[in-house]
Structure 1
Amino acid sequence: MTRHGIPGLILAAAATAALAMPLTGCSDDTTPSGAASKAASAASSLASEAGDALASATAEAGQKFDEFKNGVNAKGDVKVGDVSTDSDGRSTAKVTITNSASSSRSYAVQIDFRDQSGNLLDTAVVTVDDVAAGAAKDATARSNRTLSGEVTAVVARAVRN
């Protein structure tokens, strides 16, 4: 089974650099220590890019929740299905919201995409307007980038107003 998420990216970058080492010439920047340094730099760059993407998605989620002023915790109203991959390679999960309130409500739901170890890979927010009292509505949470390996989706938070 393959490794997933940022640790997997780091491992892949290091392995690629290690395999490329014997193919290089003998100049100073292709010595084993130079190649190891390049591999570490590449791994660090990949980890940084993945971390930046996750930070951006998390910040966007926070902004969407800020729009729901005086929102009531509604995590119990939300169920999330299994993760699948769409035609663009993004992870998706069906989100079902059942309004337990006595009148129509709108919801903001944060779905976290996680790897087998529970590490956060990405986060997405779906908003669903006008869910009638006692009724259910479906939405689809979609990752912001391509995720690899076995990915699960969990409801991180949900509010209604």
Structure 2
Amino acid sequence: MASVRGMRVAGATLLATVLAVAVAGCSDSDTSPSDAASKAADVVASATADAQKQLDEVKDSVNAKDDVKLGDVAKDDGRATVPVTVSNGQSSTQSYVVMVNFRDSGGNMLDTVVLKVNDVEAGKSKDATARSHRTLDGDVTADVARALRH
């Protein structure tokens, strides 16, 4: 009888092990966690390069980071969004290009976007919304990486 009980325990252990391996190997895609992390890093690098390219295209601009304020990050269909307010303290209408970084709670970069806020009248403010390119999980924060006034 002890051998039958031992076989049942061994069989149950084997079944649990097989199920654990099968579940661990299943995901929405055929990528391993390290492949997924690598792809996420590639997406961030691509977004960052694209954002920098957009900023580099702005000619005759000045740093305007102090003119930009962000609200609280929210989620919209999984994508992070953050309200952006640009305040033009100049004496003429100005346009702005704002680079917003989305980060996880550890400060790691998740995504970056460039937002154009055109024709902000002198002495006035204009609101816009920055939206991540992809779904972002967990707690997400946002910061103004760069802002240019032109």
TM range (shorter): 0.7 to 0.9
Structure 1 outlier segments of 4+, above 4 Å: none
Counterpart of 1:147?
136
Query: Identity of counterpart residues, as a percentage?
Result: 56
> What amino acid is the match of 1:148?
D
Alpha-carbon distance in structure 1 between the residues aligned to 2:32 and 2:84: 36
Unaligned runs of 5+ in 1: 1-20, 25-29, 36-40
Contact 2:100-2:112 within 8 A present in 1 as well: yes
Counterpart of 2:35?
45
Alpha-carbon distance in structure 2 between the residues aligned to 1:112 and 1:151: 10
SS in 1 for 2:74: strand
2:110 matched to 1:110? Answer: no
Contact 2:103-2:141 within 8 A present in 1 as well: yes
Normalising by structure 1, report the TM-score: 0.74
Unaligned runs of 5+ in 2: 1-15, 26-30
- What's the offset of the Cα at 1:144? 0.9
> What amino acid is the match of 1:73?
N
2:63 matched to 1:63? Answer: no
- What's the offset of the Cα at 1:43? 2.0
Per-residue displacement from partner, 1:91-143 (whole Å, max 9, x unpaired)?
Answer: 00000000111110110001111111211111111001100011100110000
> What amino acid is the match of 1:121?
L
RMSD in angstroms over aligned alpha carbons? 1.9
Counterpart of 1:23?
18
2:80 matched to 1:91? Answer: yes
- What's the offset of the Cα at 1:89? 1.4
SS in 1 for 2:73: strand
SS in 2 for 1:59: helix
> What amino acid is the match of 1:98?
S
Normalising by structure 2, report the TM-score: 0.79
Counterpart of 1:78?
68
Alpha-carbon distance in structure 1 between the residues aligned to 2:128 and 2:56: 20
- Bigger-Rg structure (1/2): 2
- What's the offset of the Cα at 1:23? 1.2
Choose which of 104, 116, 131 in structure 2 pairs with 1:127.
116
SS in 1 for 2:71: strand
> What amino acid is the match of 1:90?
R
Alpha-carbon distance in structure 2 between the residues aligned to 1:71 and 1:22: 61
